[in-house]
Structure 1
Amino acid sequence: MQKILVIGGSRYFGKTLVTRVRDAGHAVTVVNRGSSAPPAGVGHLVADREDEDGLRAALGRRAFDVVVDQVCYTPRQAAVARRVFAGRTGRYVMTSTMEVYDPATLPGPPAGGRVPVAEEALDPVRAPLAPRAGGLGPAHAYAEGKRRAEAVFLREPAFPYVSVRTAHVLGGGRQDFTGRLAHYVERIAAGVPVDVHEAPYATSFIHHEEIADLLHWAAGQSFTGPLNAASHGAMDVTALCEAVGARLGRRPRYRVVGESAAASPFSFDRAYAMDNGRAAALGFGFGRVADWLPGAVAEAAP
C-alpha cells in the first residue's frame, strides 16, 4: 500500500484517478480549495496550492510515497510545489499536456512534417520563452505555462519527477467539461457543417479512463522524465467526423476555412500527433481510438 496525494482530482478523469487509487488499496488523500469533497474513503485537505504557507499548514507533518499533480498550470505553482514537497515525497507525477509541443509557440515544428512527436523533441529547460501574458492567446498561454512548469521541476530536481504529456482526452459524456466531442456530435446530428482546414493534420487522443489508468500506473513505477500518453491510432478531424457520423447514422458536412483561420477544436493545419512508444516500451498497454471512440460518441449524444 502506498500513501498517495492527489492535487486537484475533483473533476473529469481526476475523479476517476482518485477512485482507481482508492480501490487499489492505497491510502489516498486529495488536496483542493474545498470546492468539492472527494469520494468516500479518501482523505481531504483544504488549501490553495498557490498559498505556500497555507499549503504547508494543511499538510502538517504528512509525507507521501507519491504526489500526483493534476492542476499545475504555471511556473509559480510548480515552484511552490517544489519547495513544499521537497523531502515529503518519493515521487512526483505532473499531468502535463501535448500542447507543450505546440509549434505555434516553438521555433518551428517539433518533429518536422507529419512524424508523430516523441518526448525528446522538447527539453523545457532549454526551450526559448514565448512572450509573456498579453502576447499570447489563451491556448498558447496554457501551453507556455505547462512548458515553464515542467522546466521548474527539471531545472533543480527536488524528487524523482515525471511529466505525463496527455493527448486530447475524450469520453465520459457530461463529465467532459471541455465540450469538444459534443461540438462534433451536436453539429453532425443537426446537419450543421463542421469547420475544417483544407488538409488537416492528424492529432492524438486518449480515453478518460485510459489516462486515469496510466496516471495510476505511472505513480507505481520508477522511471522519470516526460511521457507521452496517447491511444494508438492518431486521426485527423475528418476521420473523427466520419466516426461520429457512422455512430449517429448521419453523413458529416464540412466547410473549409482559410489557412491559419479558426476551425473546429481538433482541426489542425500543422503537425499535432504524439509518439507513445516510450510508455508502451515501459509496459503500459494502450487501447485503440477506433475501439473506444464509438462508445464515447454515444455518451456525448443528446
Structure 2
Amino acid sequence: MNTILVIGGSRYFGKSLVTKARDAGHEVTVLNRGSSAPPAGVGHLVADRDDEAGLRAALGPRGFDAVIDQVCYTPRQAAVARRVFAGRTGRYLMTSTMEVYDPATLPGPGQGSVPVPVPVTEDSLDLARTLPAARHPDHAQAHAYAYAEQKRQAEAVFLREPAFPFVSVRTAHVLGGGREEFTGRLAHYVERIAAGTPVDVHEAPYATSFIHHREIADLLYWAAGQEFTGPVNAASHGALDVTGLCELVARRLGRRPRYRLIEQGAAASPFSFDRAYAMDNGRAAALGFRFGRVADWLPQAIDEAAEA
C-alpha cells in the first residue's frame, strides 16, 4: 500500500486517519468539496462525489492502492463510486455503521425483532433480505430508519458483483476528542449530570458498543493494508448501557446521576436503547487487529468532554 485516497477525511477520526497514513510514509490524497484543506504533505482533490462527470474529471488518470470512503451515505453515491473507481483501486473501504443492525430499522417481516446472536456478528445481517427498502411506519423514527437503510443499501451496491476488493467497516459509536467529537453525545451526559438535570432513559436499557476516535482511525488504516474482504465490526471490548455510562460520568464529575424513565416509544437520551444490537468484534480480532477496552479510554474521553 503506497497511494491512498480518502474521500472525506476533513474532520474527527478522518483527520487522524489521514495524518497517520501520511506519517507512515504513504502518498495520501483527500477528496472533498473544498470546504477544508487537508494537512500539510497531503494531496487535495476537489469534487462533489454526487457529480459523476465532475468526479471523473477531478481524478483524471489517477489510480490508488486503496480508497477509504468516509462519507458514503446512499446507494446512489455507492453506485457512482463503484463505476468511477472500477479499475482505479486495488482495495475499497467504506466506513459504515453499527446502525445497520438496529432491529427497529430493519424493513420487512420481523421488523423490530432482536437479531440472533447478540452481540451481533457480521453474518447477523442479510443484506439481500433487507432490500428493497420499505417505508418505516413510525415517523418519529424516520431519520434513524433512513440513515440505517441507506447505509445498508450502499453496502449492498458494493457487494453485488464487486468491481474491486471491498470492505465495509461497521463502526460502533465513536467517542473521545473533546470538541472534535462533533455529535455532542458524550457532552450531553456531561452537561446534564454536571447540572443535576435528569437523563431520559428506558426502564431496562440494553448495552451498546463504543470505539475511541483514534482506535477507529487505526483500524481503518490497518484494514486498508490487509487482504480480507466483506463486512467487519469495529468496536472496543466491553459493551456498556446508558446507566453504566452515566455512573462513570458522575464519578468523574463528583456528582450523582439522576434519571427520568421515558414512556414506551418516547425519545430517550443518546445511547439508551430498548433493543439489543451491541456488536461482536471477533472477526477483526481474529484477523489480527488488537482492540482496546472501553473501560480504559472512556474516563479520559469524559474528562476531555468536561474540559471542552
Normalising by structure 2, we get a TM-score of 0.95
In 2, the alpha carbon distance for the partners of 1:127 and 1:2 equals 36
Q: Which secondary structure state, in structure 1, belongs to the residue aligned with residue 261 of structure 2? A: strand
Determine the structure 2 residue equivalent to 1:6.
Answer: 6
In 1, the alpha carbon distance for the partners of 2:87 and 2:69 equals 16
Task: Give how far 1:102 is off.
Answer: 1.1
Determine the structure 2 residue equivalent to 1:111.
Answer: 115
Q: Deviations over 1:44-64 (max 9, x none)?
A: 000000100000000000000
Task: Give how far 1:236 is off.
Answer: 0.3
**Is 1:58 matched with 2:77?**
no
Task: Give how far 1:138 is off.
Answer: 1.1
- Correspondences of 1:47-126 after superposition (within 5 Å): 47-106=47-106, 107-108=110-111, 109=113, 111-112=115-116, 115-126=118-129
Tell me if structure 2 keeps the 8 A contact 1:5–1:68.
Answer: yes
Determine the structure 2 residue equivalent to 1:197.
Answer: 202
* Structure 1 residues without counterparts, runs of 5 or longer: none
Tell me if structure 1 keeps the 8 A contact 2:199–2:259.
Answer: yes
Q: Which secondary structure state, in structure 1, belongs to the residue aligned with residue 100 of structure 2? A: helix
Determine the structure 1 residue equivalent to 2:15.
Answer: 15
In 1, the alpha carbon distance for the partners of 2:247 and 2:173 equals 18
The one-letter amino acid paired with 1:158 is A
In 2, the alpha carbon distance for the partners of 1:123 and 1:112 equals 12
Q: Deviations over 1:6-43 (max 9, x none)?
A: 00001111011101110111000000000000000000
Query: How many pairs are equivalent?
Result: 301
Tell me if structure 2 keeps the 8 A contact 1:125–1:155.
Answer: no
- Correspondences of 1:151-300 after superposition (within 5 Å): 151-300=156-305
In 2, the alpha carbon distance for the partners of 1:89 and 1:186 equals 45
Task: Give how far 1:295 is off.
Answer: 0.4
In 1, the alpha carbon distance for the partners of 2:177 and 2:67 equals 25
In 1, the alpha carbon distance for the partners of 2:188 and 2:260 equals 15
Q: Which secondary structure state, in structure 1, belongs to the residue aligned with residue 266 of structure 2? A: coil
In 2, the alpha carbon distance for the partners of 1:110 and 1:177 equals 30
